[in-house]
Amino acid sequence: MPAQRSVTKWLERAPAPVFTAFAVIAAFSTYFCMYAFRKPFAVGSYKGMVALPLLPALDLKSLYIIAQVLGYCASKFLGIKIVSEMPPERRALAILACIGVSEAALVLFGLAPAPYAAVFLALNGLPLGMVWGLVFGFLEGRRVSDLLGAGLCASFIVASGFVKTIGKITLGWGVPEVWMPAVTGALFFPPLLLSVWMLAQIPPPSVDDEALRTRRAPMDRAARRAFVLANAGGLATLVLGYVVLTAYRDFRDNFAREIWDALGYTDQPAILTTAEIPVAIGALLSVAVMIGIRNNRTALAAIHGVMIAGAALAGLSTALYQAGVIGPVAWMISVGLGLYVGYVPYNCVLFDRLIAAVGSVATAGFLITAADAFGYLGSVALLLYKSFGQAKRSWLEFFLGFSYATALVCGALFAASAAYFWLRTRGPSAAARPAALDA
């Protein structure tokens, strides 16, 4: 405990670049390690079909993915209450508990016969959906939250491909396919413990932080309801856009191996990681520049502009690929960048700036978790539609069509949200006070 207090006090006095570096490393590595308990299973092939009552047969891998996403989706709905009400001093322990339960579920997945092992993948996803909101709770409401959030978002862009590469390597060691997820997760437990310890040392936002970004406090049911009703029009368009983006992102992520195989990269497992590096850099740079915009209303408008540009990039690059202008690697990087330029702001700067612009005492963790809950419902719906309504279409063909749909729908919804919040935050009000400090 004395060591913990001394590190926290040192961080309170540390220069901003030192504090920022410490917090980014702690948050990035924590969430990066979490992905080792969630995504490696997706690199398995899990051959076979499952007969379902009153429904067409379903391939085993799709069943497993649907099961985990269902658990993850349920976790988000639980997290609306748990994350928004979690006292700051209990966040670190809660993160470790969530990941510990998920690893136990992966062990049971290895023990259970197919297709009943799907139950344990649902249990694996059930606690993991709350980890993001818990981690972001350490970062929000600060002058440097834009930069901290960008660093945190880098984790899920890069980690998904990296842990799948590690999973594929463990298969090469001779680890059975059903045990590969548990073995991969166990490899990441030691760095996870160190990362969570570092998170727990981060001090709460300062008085100056609260003046610029409004105070953040746990939200009970009444507070959550009041905030949603006050901003319902804009939140509805943002959540609908996030539903589409989450479904698109999850499809690209879960079936990355199948898409890359169809593009001719079967024997190059490293492509799962290397193709995501430029995506991460580009997406994070687009978010990190927001730290230079101190006026919260202006920053919120700029974030919407970047998201609209991302939607346009996903659609345009797909058209160029199909026309033969760019190759498969350039296309996958471009659609990935377009996707994450729209997706990343939801998980860091968008809601943090929105709360500051409207001038309400709230938590970004609540809004992120609530959006995620509906987003993963969309992901489940897409998987069911592909499995039962478009079963004969290849993963690549389906992804091409979905890229166009995502570009059009998200572009329109982001434009509507931008207009709503620009009007919502105009004029002298509580929302203007943070911006006034910048004058």
Q: What is the DSSP string of 132-169?
A: HHHHHTTTSSSTTHHHHHHHHHHHHHHHHHHHHHHHHH
Assess whether 26 and 14 both reside in one domain: yes
Q: What's the token pair of residue 81? A: 């209450």
* Tally of CB atoms within 10 A around 361: 14
Assess whether 58 and 159 both reside in one domain: yes
What sign does the dihedral 125-128-380-62 (CA atoms) show? negative
Assess whether 85 and 66 both reside in one domain: yes
User: Does residue 252 belong to any structural domain of this protein?
Assistant: yes
The conformation of residue 390, written as its DSSP 8-state character, comes to: S
Q: Measuring CA to CA, how many Å separate 171 from each of 32, 38, 44, 161?
A: 21, 17, 9, 15
5-10 average pLDDT score: 88
Give the phi and the psi of residue 172 in degrees, each rounded to 5: -65, -25
Assess whether 292 and 229 both reside in one domain: yes
What integer pLDDT is reported at residue 55 of this predicted model?
A: 63
Tell me, yes or no, if the pTM score tops 0.85: no
Domain boundary among 213, 233, 263: 213
Instruction: Render pLDDT for 222-249 as a digit per residue (tens, 0 to 9).
Output: 888 888 899 999 999 999 999 999 999 8
User: Does residue 41 belong to any structural domain of this protein?
Assistant: yes
**Alpha-helix runs per DSSP H in 86-220:** 91-111, 118-128, 131-136, 145-172, 180-187, 189-200, 207-213
Domain boundary among 191, 213, 235: 213
**Which residues span the domain enclosing 319?**
217-425
Assess whether 15 and 155 both reside in one domain: yes
What integer pLDDT is reported at residue 256 of this predicted model?
A: 82
What integer pLDDT is reported at residue 4 of this predicted model?
A: 54
- Dist. CA 131–CA 122, nearest whole Å: 16
User: Does residue 430 belong to any structural domain of this protein?
Assistant: no
* Tally of CB atoms within 10 A around 270: 11
Judged by average pLDDT, the poorest of 2-11, 69-78, 249-258, 315-324 is 2-11
What integer pLDDT is reported at residue 433 of this predicted model?
A: 41
Instruction: Render pLDDT for 33-91 as a digit per residue (tens, 0 to 9).
Output: 999 999 888 888 888 887 766 667 788 888 898 899 899 889 988 988 888 888 888 99
Judged by average pLDDT, the poorest of 11-15, 183-187, 264-268, 409-413 is 264-268
Judged by average pLDDT, the poorest of 149-163, 182-196, 292-306 is 149-163
Assess whether 291 and 379 both reside in one domain: yes
Judged by average pLDDT, the poorest of 23-27, 188-192, 262-266 is 262-266
Compute the C-alpha angle 278/280/282, nearest 5°.
Answer: 65
Judged by average pLDDT, the poorest of 78-82, 90-94, 109-113 is 78-82
* Cα 164 to the center of its chain, rounded Å: 17
Which of the two residues, 99 and 379, has the higher pLDDT score? 99
Domain boundary among 188, 213, 238: 213
**What's the domain count of the chain?**
2
Assess whether 155 and 276 both reside in one domain: no
3-state secondary structure of 57: strand
Contact 52, 387 (CB under 8 A): no
331-344 average pLDDT score: 92
What is the H or E stretch that residue 51 is in? strand 49-52
User: Does residue 439 belong to any structural domain of this protein?
Assistant: no
The single-letter code of the amino acid at 212 is L
For residue 55, the domain's CATH number is 1.20.1250.20
User: Does residue 437 belong to any structural domain of this protein?
Assistant: no
* Tally of CB atoms within 10 A around 53: 4
Instruction: Give exposure, 69-99, as e/b (b: 16+ Cβ within 10 Å).
Output: bbbbbbbbbbbbebbbebeeeebbebbbebb
Predicted confidence (pLDDT) at residue 437 exceeds the cutoff of 50: no
* Cα 312 to the center of its chain, rounded Å: 21
Predicted confidence (pLDDT) at residue 3 exceeds the cutoff of 60: no
Assess whether 125 and 235 both reside in one domain: no
Instruction: Render pLDDT for 377-436 as a digit per residue (tens, 0 to 9).
Output: 888 888 888 877 787 888 899 999 999 999 999 999 999 999 999 999 886 544 444 433
What integer pLDDT is reported at residue 41 of this predicted model?
A: 85
Closest-CA residue to 218 (of 230, 231, 208, 227):
227
The conformation of residue 239, written as its DSSP 8-state character, comes to: H
Assess whether 17 and 36 both reside in one domain: yes
Tokens 């984790």 sit on residue: 155
- Dist. CA 273–CA 79, nearest whole Å: 30
Closest-CA residue to 299 (of 348, 227, 236, 350):
350
Predicted confidence (pLDDT) at residue 264 exceeds the cutoff of 60: yes
Q: What's the token pair of residue 357? A: 């612009």
Assess whether 393 and 245 both reside in one domain: yes
Which of the two residues, 232 and 274, has the higher pLDDT score? 232
Assess whether 407 and 281 both reside in one domain: yes
